[in-house]
Amino acid sequence: MLVASVGLLGRIAVGCTALLATAASAQTYGYATLPPGTLNHTTASAISKVMKEKGGVNMLVQPAAGGNVIMPMVGRGEVEIGSGNIMEPQLYHERFPDLRLIAAINVLRTPFFVRKDSGMRTIADLKGKRVTMGFSAMRDLDTVARSMLASAGLTEADIKPVLVPNVVRSADDFVAGASDMFFFAFGAAKVREVDVTVGGIRVLEIDEQGMSAARKIMPWAYLTDATPGPIFTGVEKPMKVYSFDNVIVTNAKVPDDFIYKMLDTMEKNKDDLIQIQPILRDFTGAFAYKQYGGVPYHSGAIKYFKDRNLMPTPIQ
């Protein structure tokens, strides 16, 4: 009788363990990102698909208005993962000390676009023009806009500000004729949509000599090359474009094993990511680990980089 009871208890224990394991594997991880049509929404969709199909992890993409919503969600532990540019976690880390970096995943090349027939060719040509500013739902992008203007020696006093909540509205106001330019990242579907809608757009060229002034406003900015091609809509000749990093973030309480698995799955299945989001060609283990200062990396990410003998690289 006692032996039978012990055997029954053992089977119950094994059954409970199996149920707990099944429940854990069935857990859905939230991924907060920008609205459909943005670069980050496509990126989040690509990562979520690969994590499910290759990593066996359910990830639910949750669109939000901007970083002012996404970073607090991650910082409070309401979702496990979030997307944003490097300024956003830096801006919110003091209020939400549990925010952690996972990785830099791609370069955000963010020029000012104008109509192809506008006659404007450089950022300096925006003097006296209607320029989208404010970005109330993406406050960090107001910093970027001011930084880019500073590269041409311009401030808000030199332009006519058109206040918008986010980059999607910036593009929509441009199409509607309410502004003379719009601000977006290369690779987003919205950029191609605007290009077709208005009959062609042009990227305004930035003065490389003005980057020292630009970095006084946004210290993580740098220049990258852009050449005419499918991704670089509006680029008419080889040029430098204003750039900074897009990152994925998490909460310090998210388990190390999950973050490690996420990075491992992404790197091993990079080709699958690129099929959905070509901009993720930038992503490698080495690119992922940058020397930003401020917000620390998650301990699971640090373990992943350490196991691959990677050291953080400085911003150049």
CATH number at residue 274: 3.40.190.10
Using DSSP's 3-state secondary structure scheme, residue 94 falls into coil
User: Does one domain contain both 235 and 267?
Assistant: no
**Domain count for the chain:** 2
User: Does one domain contain both 285 and 138?
Assistant: no
Q: Give CA–CA dist 145/131, Å, rounded.
A: 9
Burial code (b: 16+ CB inside 10 Å, e: under 16) for 268-282 equals: ebeebbeeebebbbb
Instruction: Yes or no: say if 63 and 82 are a contact pair by the CB < 8 Å rule.
Output: no
Q: What is the pLDDT of residue 188?
A: 81
Looking at 223, 243, 263, which one is the last position of a domain? 243
Q: What is the pLDDT of residue 291?
A: 92
- The parent domain of residue 86 ranges over 29-108+245-314
Instruction: Yes or no: say if 208 and 191 are a contact pair by the CB < 8 Å rule.
Output: no
User: Does one domain contain both 130 and 220?
Assistant: yes
Residue 12 in any domain: the answer is no
Q: Where are the alpha helices (DSSP H) in 100-188?
A: 139-150, 167-176
User: Does one domain contain both 83 and 161?
Assistant: no
User: Does one domain contain both 134 and 237?
Assistant: yes
Residues of the chain with pLDDT under 50: 1-25
Provide the sign of the torsion angle of the four alpha carbons 160, 162, 168, 173, taken in this order: negative
User: Does one domain contain both 103 and 118?
Assistant: no
User: Does one domain contain both 178 and 75?
Assistant: no
Looking at 185, 215, 243, which one is the last position of a domain? 243
Q: What is the pLDDT of residue 39?
A: 83
User: Does one domain contain both 123 and 177?
Assistant: yes
User: Does one domain contain both 104 and 114?
Assistant: no
Q: Looking up tokens 């404010």, which residue turns up? A: 134
How many C-beta neighbours within 10 Å does residue 257 have? 10
Residue 126 in any domain: the answer is yes
Residue 14 in any domain: the answer is no
Q: What is the pLDDT of residue 15?
A: 45
Looking at 189, 222, 243, which one is the last position of a domain? 243
Phi, psi of 165 (to 5 degrees): -80, -30
Burial code (b: 16+ CB inside 10 Å, e: under 16) for 298-316 equals: bebbbbbbeeeebeeeebe
- Specify the pTM: 0.80
